[in-house]
């Protein structure tokens, strides 16, 4: 299996040590890809040290991806350092370190909050995808993996309207790119995580994870393994899809304790 061996991958939103972005980057590196990681803060350089491999196999950059010019320049820097980007994992979104995120009912959402959520989740995905597509098209090879969510495309959560809208729109964007570039050796897919345990998980989110059919929250690496498959050469006939990774949560109608449901 060729997998991702020797390919250059760019993974965004990889600053958190226990987050999905860094887990995906680590698994890609272990599978033989050259990996560039990015986040908005200097903690990304701590993650770089934790990635296996030497300087020719990995790189880290700080970048505010909501700055479209900076995002486009990031792709050029990655390609100068590690080679042409064949794999793009658009993981950045949901929240940004140092920026407070409020939960609001739909009628309470102010313009700035709405624009901000679409900017960090949807627009960053668009900007980076647009930047890598010309090169992928010339080389007739590319794997684009967009970190959507079950929230928006599949289910909804009260007071998460802007977030759910951005993630649903990301799926629409994924399908459009998949259709337009399917004949050029490029695939585009989305991943929809459910309740994934990280250091930022609230007590309510952990309880929700405990009530999935599997009986626990997911791990970041469990999502990361799906991303690595979608990024591989072997996933060549899978495009325009949303792969849900939620422990079966969205297939169950009764979402209370298992001893009551059964």
Residue range 15-36, pLDDT digits in tens: 999 999 999 999 999 999 999 9
Q: Is the pLDDT of residue 124 over 60?
A: yes
- Can you give the pLDDT at residue 1? 62
* Phi, psi (rounded to 5 degrees) for 149: -170, 165
Question: Which CATH class, in words, describes the domain spanning 8-261?
Answer: alpha beta
For residue 183, the 8-state DSSP code is G
Mean pLDDT of the chain: 94
227 three-state secondary structure: helix
Give the mean model confidence (pLDDT) for residues 229-243: 98
pLDDT at 254: 85
| Residue 193 three-state SS | strand
Q: For residue 85, give the 3-state DSSP assignment.
A: strand
The pLDDT tens digits for 196-211 are 999 888 999 999 999 9
Ranges assigned E (strand) in the chain: 8-12, 34-39, 58-62, 85-90, 142-147, 186-193, 242-245
Active site residue 163: yes
> In this prediction, what percent of the chain has a pLDDT beyond 70?
96
pTM: 0.95
Tell which residue, 191, 189, 174, has the closest CA to residue 21.
191
> What is the torsional sign of CA 43, 44, 45, 49?
positive
Q: Which of 141, 163, 181, 237 is catalytic?
A: 163
What are the angstrom distances between the C-alpha of 177 and each of 86, 93, 132, 152, 173? 15, 19, 12, 19, 6
**pLDDT of res. 262:** 72
């Amino acid at each position: 299996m060729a997998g991702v061996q020797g390919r250059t991958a760019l993974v965004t939103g990889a600053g958190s040590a226990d987050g999905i972005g860094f887990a995906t980057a680590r698994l890609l590196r272990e599978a033989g890809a050259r990996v560039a990681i990015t986040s908005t803060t200097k903690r990304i350089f701590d993650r770089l040290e934790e990635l296996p491999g030497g300087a020719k196999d990995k790189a880290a950059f700080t970048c505010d991806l909501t700055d479209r010019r900076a995002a486009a320049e990031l792709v050029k820097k990655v390609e100068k350092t590690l080679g042409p980007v064949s794999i793009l994992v658009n993981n950045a979104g949901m929240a940004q370190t140092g920026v407070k995120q409020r939960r609001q009912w739909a009628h309470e959402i102010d313009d700035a909050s709405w624009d901000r959520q679409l900017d960090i989740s949807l627009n960053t995905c668009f900007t980076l995808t647009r930047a890598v597509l010309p090169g992928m098209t010339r080389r007739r090879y590319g794997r684009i993996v967009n970190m959507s969510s079950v929230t928006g495309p599949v289910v909804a959560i009260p007071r998460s309207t802007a977030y759910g809208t951005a993630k649903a729109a990301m799926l629409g964007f994924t399908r459009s790119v998949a259709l337009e570039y399917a004949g050029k050796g490029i695939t585009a897919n989305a991943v929809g995580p459910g309740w994934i345990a990280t250091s930022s998980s609230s007590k309510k989110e952990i309880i929700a994870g405990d009530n999935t059919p599997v009986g626990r929250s997911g791990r970041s690496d469990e999502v990361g393994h799906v991303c690595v498959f979608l990024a591989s050469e072997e996933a060549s006939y899978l495009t325009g899809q949303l792969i849900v990774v939620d422990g079966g949560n969205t297939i169950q109608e009764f979402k209370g304790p298992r001893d009551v449901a059964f």
